[in-house]
Amino acid sequence: MEQTPQLPDQHTPPRPQHDDPGHEIVNREGQIVLPGFKSVDPGHESTEPLKSKTEQSEKQATNNEKRVRALILTGFGINCEEEFAAAYRLVGAEATIVHLNQVLHGHVSIHDYDILNFPGGFSFGDDLGSGVVLANKLRYRRNAEGRTLLDDIREFVARGKFVLGICNGFQVLVKLGLLPDLSGTVTPEVTLTHNASGRYEDRWVKLTVNPRATTPFLKGLTTLEVPVRHGEGRLIIQDEATRAAIEARGLNCLTYADFDGAPTDVYPFNPNGADLNCAGLTDTTGRVFGLMPHPEAFLSLYNHPDWARRKRATPGLSEEGDGVWLFRNIVEHVQAQATAAAAPSVSHEFSS
Amino acid sequence: MESPQRTIQLLLKPGQHDGEGQRVAEAAHRHLGLHTGRVQSTALYTVRYPLTDQQLRDFATHCLQDPVLHEVALDEFRHGAPYQSYILVAKLPGVTDDEGISAQNALGDFLNEPLDTHTQHIFSKRLYFLEEALPESSLRQLAQELLGNKLINRFEVGPIAQIRDYTPRPGGGAESVTETVGLVGLSDEALLKLSKDNLYALNLEEMRAVRDHYTSIREERQAAGLPQDPTDCELEIIAQTWSEHCKHKEFSALIKYKDADTGEEFEVDSLFKTYIKDATAEVDRQLRANGNDWLIKVFSDNAGAVRINPESLFVWKVETHNSPSAIDPYGGAITGILGNNRDPLATGIGGARLLFNTNVLCFGNPEFNGTLLSNQLHPRRIFEGVRKGIEDGGNKSGVPTVNGSIVFDDRYAGKPLVYCGTGAVMPMQLAGLDSWEKNIDPQDRIIMAGGRVGKDGIHGATFSSIELDETSPATAVQIGSPITQKLAMDFLILATRRGLIKCSTDNGAGGLSSSIGELATISCGAVVELEKVPLKYPGLRPWEIFVSESQERFSLAVEPAKLDELLALGREMEVELTDIGYFTSDGYLDVRFAGEPVAHLDMHFLHDGVPRKVLEAEWSKPTAQEPALAAATDYTDALTRLLGSLNICSRESVIRQYDHEVKGRTIIKPLMGATGQAPQDAAVVRFNFESWEGVAVSNGILPRFGDLDAYHMSAGAFDEAVRQIVAVGGKLPNLTYGDGNFWSVNDNFCVPDSVYDPVGNPDGKQKLAKLVRMCQALRDATAAYCIPLTSGKDSMKNDFKADGVKISVPPTVLYSMTAKVEDVRRTITSDFKQADDVVYLLGETYDELGGSEFYQLFGELGANVPQVRFEQAKALYQLVGEANDQNLIQSCHDLSDGGLAVALAEATFGYGFGAEVELPEGLPVHVQLFSESHSRFVATVAPEDVVAFEQHFGGRATLLGRVTQDGQLTVRYGGQPVISASTAALRHEWTNGPVNRIIGFGHHEAAH
């Protein structure tokens, strides 16, 4: 006989309300207490049932060490958030992955964090040009108070906090006008478009750091090996004046280099034909930083294509990848800032 | 009221490099011999949404235009002065238009108002201008060959003064009518005609079974108020459920096998049961007896699952998508990879995290220059389209493509083979339940998640079960949308971890009919309310809604009490969820449209009513002989030519367009070394950032050897995949008690029509005999290595027929293997590491040049097909594993296509080392250099480890020579040099082979 559908049973108590903040909660051991929109660890997720609110706040209370807090956005086709979070965790920071809608809908505030991160991926499938649709969302979508996320990000940066965009995230920052933002009006001055080769490519490149770059992300670094994985990474600068201003202020902080470390426009060392052979930009404050290559994909020696030979040649070689330096730099910088703020006798100036 | 149609055109500013236009002009010249002059490419967006002029302009300039690159034209088709012809490329009604949807998304954000997502308001198109005034026929040819596919695109072409626009207007047409199909009382001829006309792909016996069933239940249906004849939907459901694709009728058939040479005869009671399922059951028994209980789920559900450790499962599935890739290579491949992704995603409760993709592709010769058959696509076009589909399917989903293989053979020119594999990781427990189990209770809701339903892909399941011909249907084409699937994937991961989903399955072949039909077997019944299914556009009949294969959809079983929380999460993450019915336990699949019956099927008849096939197989050994080759062969030249041959040359231009390291976990990539040009044997991926555990991934496929003996071909392919994993440091399973060293293997058979028919398929018995022998080898191999199969697939009709000609694929089997790697830091790569390291050959060479690439150089097949000596091979693999434990091996490369000579050359490609090698006395030089005997490796050993190494391997290792600094490969025999070449020159030859030439090198394009 035909069965009629039952309505949800109103007498069944609802699932334990754990005051779900929407993002992932991780305990001191790195186990996921409450999964967020994405959690980081695919292999060894906690098999423990979700903790109640009280247990969770106990954990947090014992874990109150003022760690640097990194917020990592995901959703809509972003796909490098897991390794991004792993990078921050490796250097002792707290990494929280949230869906962009959590921020847009006001459930999560970027101001509770020290570093805002835009990972790589294919937001909205790269339709209309990479990063365009996402940038558009940040610029135009207004929340209940009538503010856009771009308004919040500008305030965030003005408060001395940091923004990092990698690959698709860099494209978003550029299309938003946050990079290089010479004018200070967040108007796009440069763009990232199809590689000169006309194709997507995954290959390892060598970068040199512009000695004039002031961003704390690159402090103490001179070269870096990292993979590029993009089809639209060719930087084009709108005019000569902009180019000159970028160079004069050292905003072109990363440069594609040949085998000997000299800047080059030769394929494949410069994989996309970028103006100024530029792989990464900062804004004029050095607090907003974006790059096409993927430092978060070189967290361990074993990511490098030549790891096996290098390890043989140099038995004591560090197991850490070049990409870690960049994350350690910024986390240490934020920590030092916090310490300095707590101890007013120490100078507030940090030279890099 | 419809809004007026507005047009936004984006053009590159003068001085900006038009790479696309340049590539179109070059390709038109190169492939079609057309002189287009310069080509200008522009983007068009047609907007059907009420906007003021100012809103339209602002939307165009703020959201679509890149201020650095573009200028904008509104409501006109702007072009440069010198252009004389145009080509407009639009999409046909109902074809997925991700770019249009994204633009619509941007418009909603820009206006800060939600747009009605049920209607498409923005349509994306491309408009090209050509300098030359070409005739319409040439323009149309250029459009169809290079700019789109007539099955999915609409082209307008002509002189520039008369530009015709086209914007799809889907819908209209059918109402929600369900018709009955007169079946009771039909003659045999009429039954067959009915099956063919409606693309049911059922044979006479099956049609009779359906007719007889309906005759027998007449009164029952009358009493229930149902028509006596089946409805259109019922027949469609039966046809889809009984399709070869879903029921594997030939692998379940009773086969009468006869060996014509020996007279031996026997019966095989289902290939699947005899050689695959029972063999794995025996492996599992041995594993468990030895404390290895990691085999969790085999041959059921969407993918197989093995346990990595007490917390997590590894889920692994490989499938084919051949027929769709033959008619729309890009769409076929992208839906193949995305569809295969959905299998691990929807295993058990669902929500596995995808770890990697791999793919194996078989194509015809891309340099073919003969005449194509009607509707046959050029192999180069299939190659390029499939490659692009895999690029977008993998890269845009954020899943690394960690390795793969491309095989060329003229017999793949009709139907290519496109194998897609996906590995994933899943927690053992999800919200306190065993993640791999599927449980459904009556009253649980049926939720459709993901994309909407259109006419795309209707009949995919039945269509893939017949041979292709020139009248193959356009509706069988589907276009994947990786972004839609990515959103659904992110959603599933979270919803399953919050315990909101009881189980999930993907909507692949057969659509809702298949997914709900299968899930309903768990509770034993379901009620589906088709009017609730969200459509891309109106005008679908109920049966079309039920069997449509529109992509990126999952069917979920959800407890009524959790429905609200699930729907709220879907809204938050912008994934469309629709409640379309509920599960029951009354034994019927009950499909309705607005209360009217559409289908009411007995589940028992649906799933068990298909008549069993009885097939005949007859084997006779092909006559073959070893060729007499000229004595004075220049082996340096032979090696050089082999490295530049189609099946051996570098695939770098393909590999680098796949993202092989997103997720940051890939440890051994397809190309390694300081040069990034040393090919590797198996990929290695770590599971996460907290431990060094990982998985090795390999593929074994050797169709050439099947021309000599299908048994040895299949055994060899199995061994190839095993030894690739051993080469990178993987260990065989079950060596010690409870070692937990999992292996998970998928078998994928792709064979030509193997059902004997005196007219249509006169050699059908021989083909089926080959399949039987392939399966026998598989059984022997699994038993020998104690390696279990966990899932697999068979594709039985890989023939292309047109103009009275049939192109059949050679019988092909792919073994896709994965094995646990305890510590990825201890894995081994194939390239030489240091000068003065000592080079050894591991394993034994036999006079087995039959089917070799070396013979191929001379147009010979030979006779001595390589054979796998399982016991010897297993012993060697154990020794290799033990040597790795002692860190005795510095590099290890398996020997396959081209034998020892090619392996030695490839091992030098990573850094520019050379090698000095002296071949031992014994077999003739060309046999030692080029025989493709299985189960062998080239390994290098540090000078200080030589004694320990030789002691360990004893007679299994043959000293060959040493690695040198000088970049010269020198091979001597009896003191005389037989090969002497610069390794840089060899690498150059390999890198500049036909594959990279066809796909093109990624150099910077020069501006005009």
What are the tens digits of pLDDT across the range B593-615? 988 899 999 999 998 889 899 99
A193 touches chain B (CB under 8 A): yes
- The predicted structure's pLDDT at residue A295: 98
Please report the pLDDT score of residue B240 as a whole number: 87
Q: Give the span between the Cα atoms of B931 and B924, in whole angstroms.
A: 10
Question: With an 8 Å Cβ cutoff, is A230 touching chain B?
Answer: no
Residue-wise pLDDT tens digits, A332-349: 999 999 988 887 654 444
- The lowest-confidence range among B196-210, B291-305, B955-969 is B196-210
A129: left (phi over 0), alpha (psi -120 to 50) or beta: left
Averaged pLDDT, B169-174: 59
The answer to whether residue A204 neighbours chain B at the CB level (below 8 Å) is yes
- Distance of residue B719 Cα from the nearest chain A Cα, in angstroms: 26
Whether residue B343 is annotated as binding a ligand: the answer is: yes
Give the nearest partner residue to B487 out of A76, A299, A319, using CB atoms.
A76
First-last CA distance in chain B: 47
**Best residue of B9, B64, B68, B395 to probe chain A, by most A CBs closer than 10 Å:** B68
Write out chain B residues lying below 8 Å of A305, CB-based. 669, 671-674, 676
Quick check: A127 and B586 CB within 8 A?
no
- Give residue B460's pLDDT: 59
The one-letter amino acid code at B412 reads Y
Residues 308..367 of B with a Cβ closer than 8 Å to A: which?
308-309, 311-312, 353, 355
Locate the chain B residue with the closest alpha carbon to A191.
B68
For residue B93, the model assigns a pLDDT of: 77
Contact B337, B387 (CB under 8 A): no
Residue A288 Ramachandran class (φ > 0 left, ψ -120 to 50 alpha, else beta)? beta
Chain A closest-CA separation from residue B6 CA (Å): 18
Tell me which DSSP letter residue B64 carries: I
Whether the CB-CB separation of A190 and B68 falls below 8 Å is answered with yes
What chain A residue is nearest to B497 in terms of C-alpha separation? A35
Find the largest Cα–Cα distance for chain A: 82
Mean pLDDT is lowest, of B188-192, B434-438, B470-474, B669-673, for B470-474
Class of A66-342 in CATH: alpha beta
B66-109 pLDDT, tens digit each? 999 999 999 999 998 899 999 999 988 777 788 998 899 899 99
- pLDDT tens digits, residue range B835-870? 999 999 999 999 999 999 999 999 999 999 999 999
Residues B495-511 pLDDT 10s: 999 999 999 998 878 88
Residue of B nearest to A102 (CA): B572
pLDDT of residue B695: 98
In terms of CA atoms, which chain B residue is nearest residue A104? B572
Task: Look at residue B115 and tell me whether its pLDDT is greater than 60.
Answer: yes
Is the pLDDT at A352 greater than 70? The verdict is no
Looking at residue B468, its pLDDT comes to: 52
* Chain A residue whose CA is closest to B15: A238
Residue B75 burial (CB count, 10 A)? 12
pLDDT at position B657 = 96
Question: Is A296 a residue of the active site?
Answer: yes
Terminal CA-CA length for chain A: 78
Please indicate whether residue B256 or residue B30 has the higher confidence score (pLDDT): B256
Strand blocks (E) in B545-668:
553-558, 577-583, 588-593, 596-602, 614-619, 666-668
In one letter, which amino acid is A123? S
Closest by CA to B130, choosing from B94, B172, B93, B79, is: B79
CA distance A88 to chain B (A): 12
pTM: 0.92
Compute the nearest-CA separation of B311 from chain A (Å). Answer: 6
Looking at the complex, does the CB of residue A336 fall below 8 Å from at least one CB of chain B?
A: no
If you average pLDDT over every residue of chain B, what do you get?
92
Instruction: Name the amino acid, one letter, at B615.
Output: L
Task: Give the C-alpha separation, B554 to B899, whole Å.
Answer: 46
Question: A44, B584: Cβ pair inside 8 Å?
Answer: no
Selecting among B79, B121, B245, B248, the annotated active-site residue is: B245
Per-residue model confidence (pLDDT) at position B170: 62
pLDDT of residue B323: 86
pLDDT for residue B2 is more than 70:
no
Query: CA B623, CA B653: separation in Å to the nearest integer?
Result: 40
**What does the block give as tokens for A337?**
């800032």
Closest CA to A231 of A208, A258, A261, A203: A203
Instruction: List CB contacts of A220: < 8 A, sequence separation 6 or more.
Output: A325, A329, A352
pLDDT of A37 > 70? The answer is no
pLDDT tens digits along B972-1006: 999 999 999 999 999 999 999 999 999 987 777 76
What is residue B339's three-state secondary structure?
helix
Would you say residue B235 has pLDDT above 70?
yes
Does residue B550 have a known ligand-binding role?
yes
Amino acid B469: pLDDT: 52
Whether A294 is a known active-site residue: answer yes
* Among the partner residues A78, A140, A319, nearest to B110 by beta-carbon distance: A140
Q: What residues 47-106 of chain A have any CB closer than 8 A to a CB of chain B? A: 47, 49-50, 74-80, 82-83, 86, 89-90, 99, 101-102, 105
- Please check whether residue A126 touches B, CB under 8 A: yes
Residue B568, number of CB atoms within 10 A of its CB: 12
What domains does chain B contain, in order, with CATH numbers? 6-162 (3.30.1280.10), 188-249 (no CATH), 270-429+662-815 (3.30.1330.10), 623-649+830-1008 (3.90.650.10)
B691-749 confidence digits (pLDDT tens): 999 999 999 999 999 999 999 999 999 999 999 999 999 999 999 999 999 999 999 99
Q: How confident is the model at residue A4 (pLDDT cuts 50, 70, 90)?
A: very low
Q: How far is A280 from chain B (nearest CA, A)?
A: 18
Q: Least CB-CB distance to A124: which of B102, B671, B688?
A: B102
B497 Cβ under 8 Å from any chain A Cβ: yes
**Reduced to 3 states, what is the DSSP secondary structure of residue B80?**
coil
Cβ distance A198 to B355 less than 8 Å, yes or no, reads no
Which residues pair with residue B976 across a beta bridge?
Answer: B973
- CA of B203 to nearest chain A CA: how many angstroms apart? 34
Kind plus residue range of the DSSP H or E element containing B223:
helix B218-223
Whether pLDDT at A160 is above 90: yes
pLDDT in tens, B390-418: 999 999 999 999 999 999 999 999 999 99
Residue percentage of chain B with pLDDT more than 70: 97
Nearest CA in chain A to B314: A43
Question: Which of A167, A230, A232, A278 is the catalytic position?
Answer: A167
| pLDDT band, very low/low/confident/very high, at A31 (cuts 50, 70, 90) | low
Q: Has residue A32 got a pLDDT over 70?
A: no
A269 part of contact set with chain B, CB < 8 Å:
no
Q: Which residues of B touch A6 (CB under 8 A)?
A: 443, 560
B-chain residue closest to A265, CA distance: B1004
Which of left, alpha, beta for B75 (phi over 0: left; psi -120 to 50: alpha)? left
3-state secondary structure of B9: strand
Note the helical H segments in chain A.
53-62, 81-90, 100-104, 132-140, 149-158, 168-176, 240-248, 307-313, 323-342
Confidence of residue A59 (pLDDT cuts 50, 70, 90): very low
Q: Do A309 and B396 touch (CB under 8 A)?
A: no
Residue B342, marked binder: yes
Distance of CA B422 to the CA centre of its chain: 9
Chain B positions in Cβ-Cβ contact with residue A133 (cut-off 8 Å): 102, 105-106, 109
- Can you give the pLDDT at residue A43? 34
CA distance A140 to chain B (A): 5
Q: Which among A47, A140, A265 has CB closest to B112? A: A140
| Mean pLDDT value across residues B647-653 | 96
